């Protein structure tokens, strides 16, 4: 079995910045990037960061608040190399999918607007999945799976166990009427076998090549599950 140190992992971040019509900013949730990033990095994996627009994606300001800090986010705050890598994400359309062993999508509300509908991202997911390589997503990022299809034209999530941000968690953050759709409902509408645990607790689900997690607290578990699959 190859070791994790020989693995190349692509992490795809949102480029979307506006939180609906609220006038507030969104982006990606820094914990959901930092925790998996260091899980992969500490296992010796080679990580490439990409986003639809390339360059610096926006960290959701709420996730950068000291009250939301975790061990992983504090490590990132003190890691100039990781910050430089994040500031220079590769443009998604320039990514060669064949160069990577797995793809992982951090959440935050941003992906609901851009990556869900991004044809490059959808094609990337379908390529990874049909070629037998793991696809991971956490919190709001399982939205990126909604328009992906299997080779027979069925929704990728149909009949497969998936997790993602719950309706009750969305209600708790007061954004039920702001987001373009509720992820829990959307995954079920596509035929996904949606599963969830208690709000805000770590809950990660694996079904074959799909690795999903419910919320920020689940991001590390999803990354560990993917690493286990990669050997």
Residues forming the active site: 139-140, 170
What residues have CB less than 8 Å from 217, skipping those under 6 apart? Answer: 200, 201, 202
| DSSP E strand boundaries for the chain | 8-12, 46-51, 90-91, 102-105, 135-138, 161-162, 193-194, 204-207, 210-213
Q: Which helix (H) or strand (E) holds 86?
A: helix 80-87
Tokens (6 digits) for 22: 């609220």
Can you tell me the distance from the alpha carbon of 142 to that of 67, in angstroms, rounded to the nearest whole number?
A: 25
- HEC-encoded secondary structure of 113-163: HCCCCCHHHHHHHHHHHHCCCCEEEECCHHHHHCCCECCCCCECCECCEEC
Q: Is 25 helix (H, G, I), strand (E, B) or coil?
A: strand
Q: What are phi and psi of 8, to 5 degrees?
A: -115, 125
DSSP type of residue 70: -
């Amino acid at each position: 079995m190859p070791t994790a140190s020989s693995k190349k992992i692509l992490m795809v971040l949102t480029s979307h910045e506006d939180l609906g019509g609220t006038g507030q900013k969104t982006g990606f949730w820094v914990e959901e990037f930092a925790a998996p990033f260091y899980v992969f990095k500490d296992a010796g994996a080679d990580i490439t960061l990409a986003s639809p627009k390339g360059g610096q994606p926006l960290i959701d300001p709420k996730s950068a608040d000291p009250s939301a800090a975790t061990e992983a986010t504090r490590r990132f705050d003190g890691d100039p190399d990781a910050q430089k890598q994040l500031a220079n994400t590769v443009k998604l359309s320039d990514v060669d999918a064949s160069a990577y062993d797995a793809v992982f999508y951090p959440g935050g509300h941003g992906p609901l607007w851009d990556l869900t509908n991004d044809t490059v991202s959808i094609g990337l997911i379908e390529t990874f999945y049909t070629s037998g390589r793991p696809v991971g997503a956490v919190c709001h990022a399982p939205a990126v799976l909604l328009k992906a299809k299997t080779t027979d034209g069925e929704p990728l999530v149909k009949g497969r166990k998936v997790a993602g941000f719950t309706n009750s968690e969305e209600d708790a953050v007061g954004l039920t009427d702001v987001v373009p759709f509720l992820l829990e409902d959307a995954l079920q509408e596509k035929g996904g076998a949606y599963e969830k645990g208690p709000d805000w607790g770590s809950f990660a689900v694996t079904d074959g090549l799909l690795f999903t997690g419910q919320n920020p607290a689940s991001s590390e578990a999803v990354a560990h599950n993917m690493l286990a699959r990669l050997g």
